[in-house]
Amino acid sequence: MAGYYTVRQGDYLSKISSENGFFDHTIIWNHPNNAELKKKRENPSVLYPGDQLFIPDKNQRDCQCPTDQAHTFEVKRERLKLRLVLEDQYENPVANAKCKIIIGAQDTELTTDGKGKIELEIPLETQTGALVIESKETPYDGELFSLRVGDLDPVDTPSGQQARLNNLGYFAGSSEQPDDPLFLSAAEEFQCDHGLTVDGKIGPKTQAKLKQVHGC
């Protein structure tokens, strides 16, 4: 039955769509009842707890086929890709480094490209995983990084700003208070590095640059 779903932490649209029996998240995202949310969030993979998402009824399709023959029906499911870019403390790419991504019981060996990027197709319901760098050519050999898929909040929220700063290596701490010393210091350092007004406030210009540098 159609109705509104309240987004929870760790939700992203491909996951929500799959859990509700939809093979394509755009059926939900492009529904007129979600126009306001779509305009506000822009990215269906970056939602915020408490967002109201309308889930429409599924459309039934009738297929007429002879009963004296065997028939094959192919369902095209949506595919989800995890994309990561690894950089060192100087924002240089960790290039050509062997890595392992662990999703559930599946371990996948990968190598970063010249820009430090790796890509992996993952199940639509994925929420957690881990990345292990296995390259003696980098100072990060043996390092394990936890992955929380769909856990990134929008850039206009304190939690989303803090997470992006932490992901970029600015050590913004764990408090989401805008006057937290670690958060202020991280914001000022980011602003200094990118030619912005250094005031520790994540205003529209800093948000736009933070989103651009982080990638989403």
C-alpha span between 171 and 53 (Å, rounded): 33
Q: Mark whether 165 and 201 lie in a shared domain.
A: yes
Q: What is the DSSP string of 50-83?
A: T-EEEEPPPPP------TTS----------EEEE
Domain containing 23 — which CATH number? 3.10.350.10
Q: Which helix (H) or strand (E) holds 9?
A: none
Q: What is the pLDDT of residue 59?
A: 77
Q: Which positions ≥6 away from 164 have C-beta within 8 Å? A: 152, 155, 210, 211, 214
Q: What is the pLDDT of residue 203?
A: 94
Determine the average pLDDT of the residues in 88-93: 84
Q: Mark whether 97 and 120 lie in a shared domain.
A: yes
Q: What is the pLDDT of residue 77?
A: 67
Q: Which residue, 107, 127, 148, sits at the end of a domain?
A: 148
pLDDT value at 124 more than 90: no
Q: What is the pLDDT of residue 175?
A: 80
Q: Are β-strands 3-6 and 98-103 bridged in parallel, bridged antiparallel, or unpaired?
A: unpaired
In 3D, which of 13, 41, 15 has the Cα closest to residue 28?
Answer: 13
Place of tokens 């190598």: 111
Residue 87 lies in a domain: yes
In 3D, which of 103, 108, 5, 2 has the Cα closest to residue 47?
Answer: 5
C-alpha span between 151 and 133 (Å, rounded): 22
Residue 175 lies in a domain: yes
Domain containing 103 — which CATH number? 2.60.40.10
Q: Are β-strands 80-85 and 117-122 bridged in parallel, bridged antiparallel, or unpaired?
A: antiparallel
pLDDT band at 6 (very low <50, low <70, confident <90, very high): very high
Q: Mark whether 135 and 166 lie in a shared domain.
A: no
C-alpha span between 11 and 195 (Å, rounded): 34
Q: What are the tokens at 93? A: 């790419």
In 3D, which of 137, 104, 140, 109 has the Cα closest to residue 122?
Answer: 104
Average pLDDT for the chain: 90
Q: Which residue, 92, 118, 148, sits at the end of a domain?
A: 148
pLDDT band at 28 (very low <50, low <70, confident <90, very high): very high
Residue 71 lies in a domain: no
Residue 74 lies in a domain: no
> Is residue 6 a contact partner of residue 50, using CB atoms and an 8 Å limit?
yes
Q: Which domain holds residue 89?
A: 80-148
Residue 48 lies in a domain: yes
User: Domain tally for the chain?
Assistant: 3
Q: Which residue, 148, 173, 190, sits at the end of a domain?
A: 148
Q: What is the pLDDT of residue 1?
A: 78
Residue 70 lies in a domain: no
Residue 164 lies in a domain: yes
Note the pLDDT tens digit of each residue in 139-172. 888 889 999 999 999 999 999 999 999 999 898 9
Cα-flanking dihedrals φ and ψ of residue 130, to 5°? -150, 150
Note the pLDDT tens digit of each residue in 52-68. 999 999 877 666 777 77
